[in-house]
Structure 1
């Protein structure tokens, strides 16, 4: 594509969805020209955003390149797209719920303040856009229009903030890790939206447990005692990823968000002192696990890890590993810093848990 563009004075137009859009976006950037896209499925939020997610050197990577000059979406066409593509888009939009909760945490603990404009662009109409999963699956014009608008707005918010923070949290870290591990399901790649569907449910289940936790009585001394030194963190990260081709990425990303014991104590004290207010904000944001699972099932998205070739054991490992591969602050970091991660995972994967692996 790059070779063809170099010998023609033409503006590339991407007619398609995720992969076609990303390839065209990157090729246009590398040949120093604008491009536009024509969406053919409401399958992802990347149409209107900067950056292209491309597999290079064996791993999915995000390349920094401009958003399109224009994006066209004919709802009649999108309504007739394959149902699995629409389901993937619905799951990608649903992920903005947990991503928003992660941003609330980052804001409340002084890690990354919420950008009011970006927040409003994504969150103001989000719950309404997700309200009719059955209509979305059946190609109902109103439901698909709301889904498409929600996805496009997600891209606009990322474009506004020059960051994926408004649209991506811990649930996307699950997907990123599986891509980096070259995970396939029966030899086939899994769509981004379907990976994120499982990631979103995993994070939602964690939020359900966290909202039942009394952080007003958090044992800060115990949390500080279990917090590693930077050198210990390096050993952990390199050990966890020693069998992969990206151990250094795990270490560098973990290092980028590491804080010392003094800063951790301050952060945990903020959590403890303000838990009542933080909890209210999170409870308003999060859709409970069973409802989230029902909606995603209705639209046709995967709701069990096995649906995308992930065992329950691997899902548990992902909870531990995912927070190392991105420096973004999420609920996974809260779980680690408070010392609750293993306890919550024992509940999720223990007897009568959401993903019981004891039988």
Structure 2
């Protein structure tokens, strides 16, 4: 375990131990006893992850004298069982056995075991099989409930083990997905800087360093990641684990999730990519495209001087609460999503006077803020090259997203979550749609990449 992970672990609320490195799969029994004492264990996996590492973990625990129940094995592909009902079935099995879940796998399996254990008030362990997402050490469980993907309350694992040799052997697309998810921390950080500047949510310097400190290095070797280089995957895995630990330390997902995730969340809630073959579109791939989209928006914004923003005109143009709610309903018609979007959007609504205060703060902070944003962000075109080198998508066409639908996401995604991002700042300044139009103009960032 690196010094950085050790420092993050000291700030975490749920995770007590993390083991990362080559060959650490053999350390699972020792780590299990260190965290859970003489509790029983049950390995949870699916047919693929059991073959990759699950049976080895089960055998190692049994050989070390840990009492183990028969493994709980889900059939087939993760998309076949990523539903809350399966978390409830697993919960009932765990209750009957009295065993601690040791989930061996990636996103969906982790979410199922996380929620099942949470409903029992029990801790659990995760053995990561791919560097595919930042959710291993994060709280919250993302599962489909009544057909809609939702984030359900659930603590992070008490123990996380990441064997880099196992991760390096994972399908390249899973590593590329993790790269896309981690790259999104760049725009998430920029959004936090904006939220801090307007007084919406102050930056916590210690938590900021947990995510942003190792980020550039972890993103620096996309071609090596695509080639399965163990050292490069170690950097990626550490960055992903750090993001989850930082969310624990912050008691929220702000350090690792910004407007790029709003793009992804909207597409997920509307089912985009669910039917993609041979594998459904991953969360990390959607975050990757969202990150390029948001970075391009920041670049357009940084061409302007917000220090001279006409605050009075923006305040006059700001809609009333009733008008804002009608706007949400105009952009979201899907049952379930529309109600949640109204609730979330109105939770962050401020009246014209509040908008005026925010915009005055933004204009005052702009000279220093714009310099810091330029230093912090990587150019959108460079991000596209990095993503493609890692094997991840970098253009909406590469995730089979329609051009008009993609453009509309800039406005629609601002209307689904209470989190304050650059999208909110621009909406309040009455600049969001003009800047989006600039991006899609023939000589704009996306206009130059428009499909024929």
* 1:222 paired residue among 313, 317, 333: 313
Stretch of structure 1 that moved more, 6-15 or 151-160: 6-15
TM-score, normalised with respect to structure 1 = 0.97
Residue 110 of structure 1: CA displacement? Answer: 0.7
Could you tell me whether the CA contact under 8 Å between 1:349 and 1:358 is conserved in 2?
no
What does residue 74 of structure 2 align with? Answer: none
**CA–CA separation in structure 1 for the residues paired with 2:275 and 2:451:** 25
The yes-or-no answer on 1:298 pairing with 2:426 is no
Taking a change above 3 Å as real, the CA distance of residues 358 and 75 of structure 1, as seen in their structure-2 partners, is: closer
CA RMSD of aligned residues (A): 1.4
The yes-or-no answer on 1:96 pairing with 2:96 is no
Residue 4 of structure 1: CA displacement? Answer: 1.4
Residue 3 of structure 1: CA displacement? Answer: 2.3
Residues 4-40 of structure 1: per-residue CA shift (max 9 Å, x gap): 1121021111101000111111111112221100000
What does residue 71 of structure 1 align with? Answer: 160
**CA–CA separation in structure 2 for the residues paired with 1:242 and 1:16:** 35
Paired residues, what number?
Answer: 359
What does residue 39 of structure 1 align with? Answer: 128
* 1:280 paired residue among 368, 371, 394: 371
Residues 127-183 of structure 1: per-residue CA shift (max 9 Å, x gap): 111111111111212211110000000000011111010000000001111111122
What does residue 339 of structure 2 align with? Answer: 248
The yes-or-no answer on 1:159 pairing with 2:248 is yes
Please list every run of 5 or more consecutive structure 1 residues that lacks an aligned counterpart in the other structure: none
Q: 5 Å matches for 1:1-359?
A: 1-184=90-273, 186-188=275-277, 189-356=280-447
**CA–CA separation in structure 2 for the residues paired with 1:185 and 1:46:** 20
Residue 186 of structure 1: CA displacement? Answer: 5.0
SS in 2 for 1:184: coil
Residue 341 of structure 1: CA displacement? Answer: 1.1
SS in 2 for 1:71: strand
SS in 2 for 1:66: coil
Residue 296 of structure 1: CA displacement? Answer: 0.5
Could you tell me whether the CA contact under 8 Å between 1:234 and 1:255 is conserved in 2?
yes
SS in 1 for 2:97: coil
Could you tell me whether the CA contact under 8 Å between 1:350 and 1:358 is conserved in 2?
no
Taking a change above 3 Å as real, the CA distance of residues 340 and 95 of structure 1, as seen in their structure-2 partners, is: same
**CA–CA separation in structure 2 for the residues paired with 1:352 and 1:58:** 41
Residue 117 of structure 1: CA displacement? Answer: 2.0
Residue 243 of structure 1: CA displacement? Answer: 4.4
Residue 227 of structure 1: CA displacement? Answer: 0.5
**CA–CA separation in structure 2 for the residues paired with 1:45 and 1:209:** 29
Residue 353 of structure 1: CA displacement? Answer: 2.5
**CA–CA separation in structure 2 for the residues paired with 1:143 and 1:249:** 39
SS in 2 for 1:313: helix
Residue 112 of structure 1: CA displacement? Answer: 0.2
SS in 2 for 1:46: coil
Residues 194-225 of structure 1: per-residue CA shift (max 9 Å, x gap): 01011111101101111111112211122112
Q: RCO higher in 1 or 2 (8 Å CA, sep ≥ 6)?
A: 1
**CA–CA separation in structure 2 for the residues paired with 1:24 and 1:306:** 34
**CA–CA separation in structure 2 for the residues paired with 1:297 and 1:240:** 32
**CA–CA separation in structure 2 for the residues paired with 1:237 and 1:279:** 30
SS in 2 for 1:15: strand
Residue 185 of structure 1: CA displacement? Answer: 6.0
Residue 245 of structure 1: CA displacement? Answer: 3.5
Residues 302-353 of structure 1: per-residue CA shift (max 9 Å, x gap): 0111211211211111111001110101010111111111111111112132
